Structure formats: C-alpha cells, structure tokens
Amino acid sequence: MFLTEKCSSLLPPHHHHSDAAPPKASRRSRQRQQLLTATKAACFDAALAARLRGLLPGPAPSSPLAALARLADLLALTLAEAAPALAGEGDAAAVAAHLDAGVALLDACNAITARLERLRRRRLLARFALHLLSSSPAGRGRARAALADRDGRSSSSPPPPLPSLPFDQPRGRLSAAARVLVAVSAVSSLAAAAAGAILGEAFLDAAAFPRVSGGDFPWAEPFNAVSGQLSALAAPGASEVDAIDEAVQRLASALDGKGGVDEAAVRAAAQEVERRTEEMTARLDRLSDAVNGVFRAALGLRNAELGSFMVGPGGKTCA
C-alpha cells in the first residue's frame, strides 16, 4: 500500500449518512469540508502515481497475461479507493456523468471473463490432443482431429469483440470529485486497451492506448510510461495466446507430415504445446481472479455513486 498514514486516515473504507439532521453549515465548516475533500483527492492522486510507478520499468515481455493481471489489480484498487475519496464532495454533475462509464466497465469485465473461458476450453482441447497422442500410436489420428476441432470451433463461432473504453480527458478547472473520476476513467481505458491487445484476435493499433496530457495530474507521467510500454503488446504475435496457437499449429503440421511422420518433430512440438499450456493455466486463473476483483470494485463504486443521489432534505438517506 502506497498511502501514507495521513492519507490512509482520510480514506475510510465506508461512508455512512447520518439519520440525524445536521446543524446548519457555516461558511467556516464548508471551507473545512472543501479542504478535507481536496486533501483526500490529493492522497488518491499520490497513491495512484506510486502504484503506476510500481509497474515500471514495465511488464515482462514473456508474460503479457501476468502484466494484464497486475494492471487489473491496480484498477481494482483505484476503484475501491475512489468511493471514499468522493464522499462528501458534492459534485453531482461529475458523478452523474461517470455512471454510464461504470456500466461500460462492468460490461467489459463480463466480456473479458467470457474470453478467458473460451481460452480455457481451447487449452483443454490441446491437452486432450496431447493425451491422445501419448496413449498409443493409433491415437495420432484422434489427436489430429482434436486439434482440428479446437481450430474449427474457434473459426465457426468467433467471440464478440472486446469493448473499448475511450478516454476523453476533460479540460478546464475540475472539482476534486471530477479529478478522481478522471483517474478512474483513464486507468479503466488503459486496462481495456491492454485486454484487447493481449486477448483480442485482431491487431490493435498503439494509438488505442490512452495518454494523459498536461501537468495537472501527478500520476500523468507514470501513466503515460505504462501506457507506452503496454502498447508494445499490441504487436501481432506478441501475446501468449498467439504463442500457444503457433505451437499447436506446428504440432498439427508435424502430424500431417507428407511422406511419413517425423517422430522427432512431433515429440518436440508436443513438448512445446505441453509447456505453453501449463504456463497458461496458472496465468489464466490469476487474470480471472483479477478481473473478478475489478468487477466487484466497479460495482461498489457504482453503488456508492448511486447512493450519493439518495439523500433527502436534512441530509437523511432516502429509502
């Protein structure tokens, strides 16, 4: 955790509305509230900047799935801390404008989860082919059929495209609440772009990765550095998903060898498929847990945003 003790004390895990009517606010008490809100937002900004720097010098090229999982963890923390940072600020316009973005993020989490389940099924078919291949010499034909089934299912029912979350940086003077929500939107957009590059099935241009301009946000510099490094994963063939598909294709080609099967080539290709599928298993599970964490945190922030509108006269919470 990158928050200092002082900042942590300003970010309580929950905010409750009192049923008792508060005394009429004086000018001094309003100023104190504004100062407290600004301090909470500054602590939020500082924590995000520190976490982004923690991702540098960048994801290991050998494991884009692990890099995406770390980014998802960062997004979940950002969402979780946004709700208390917004509490008491009172910028209803900024909160209302962000509600649609929150729904889009929840939809993106569902789409990514569906894509991960699809990758798990393809991994199981590859593992089944390896089992058939090792069971007996007669199993080679069935193994080749299993690999063809793996590829056939993929082409016959392509998954829906992963949704993008475009980042539109606002201009002008922003309230403390708006600054927090700008950070939430930027990190959400970056995570969606990285998921599209790593899990998608089409080339994703590096321009799709968001950038933050200007020096108003202390997290802008490390954010842009992380975004630039993640955009390298958009290159065709750079992800582990591409690598395992290429390994399966080499195995299928070895089994289809003209003029007789090259036993050494089959054995080497099978070992590569086995190694890559084993590596992917743990990484898919890790990423799935991280995406679930993002979904829960996004739902919590949305509930907090909706709850901020359910306040009646005298500060009483509406039923």
Q: Please state, in angstroms and rounded to a whole number, the distance separating the CA atoms of residues 199 and 29.
A: 50
Helices (H) and strands (E) in the chain, counts: 9, 0
- Measure the N-to-C terminal CA separation of the chain; round to a whole number of Å: 36
In a domain, 78, yes or no: yes
What residues form DSSP beta bridges with 116?
Answer: none
Q: Is 200 exposed, middle or buried (0-12, 13-18, 19+ CB in 10 A)?
A: middle
Higher pLDDT, 91 or 249: 249
pLDDT over 70 percentage in the chain? 75
Within-domain flag for 46: no
Dihedral sign of CA atoms 213, 162, 78, 71 in order? negative
| Residue 275 included in any domain | yes
State how far the alpha carbon of 234 is from the alpha carbons of 98, 207, 210, 253, in Å: 28, 10, 13, 27
Q: What is the SS3 assignment for 108? A: helix
Residue 28 included in any domain: no
Residue 176 half-sphere exposure toward CB, CA atoms < 13 A: 21
Q: pTM above 0.85?
A: no
For every residue of 199-246, DSSP letters joined together read H-SS---GGGS----SSS-TTHHHHHHHHHHHHGGGSTT-SHHHHHHH
Cα angle for residues 142, 146, 148 (degrees, 5° grid) = 115
- Is 101's pLDDT higher than 50? yes
- Mean pLDDT in residue range 121-132: 89
Separation CA 256–CA 140 (nearest Å): 10
Q: What is the mean pLDDT of residues 185-208?
A: 84
Q: Is the pLDDT of residue 314 over 80?
A: no
Residue 17 resides in a domain: no
Number of domains in the chain: 1
Instruction: Say what the pLDDT of residue 80 is.
Output: 95
In a domain, 52, yes or no: no
With beta carbons less than 8 A apart as the criterion, state whether 81 and 44 touch: yes
- Name the percent of the chain lying above pLDDT 90: 34
Average pLDDT (108-114) is 94
Query: Cα(13)–Cα(145) distance, rounded to whole angstroms?
Result: 54
Q: What is the mean pLDDT of residues 125-132?
A: 88
23 occurs within a structural domain: no
Q: Which domain holds residue 142?
A: 67-305
Query: Which helix (H) or strand (E) segment is 278 a member of?
Result: helix 263-307
Confidence of residue 197 (pLDDT cuts 50, 70, 90): confident
Please tell me the predicted confidence (pLDDT) of residue 190. Answer: 96
Contact status, residue 210 vs residue 227, Cβ threshold 8 Å: yes
User: Is 154 among the domain residues?
Assistant: yes
Mean per-residue pLDDT, 81-109: 86
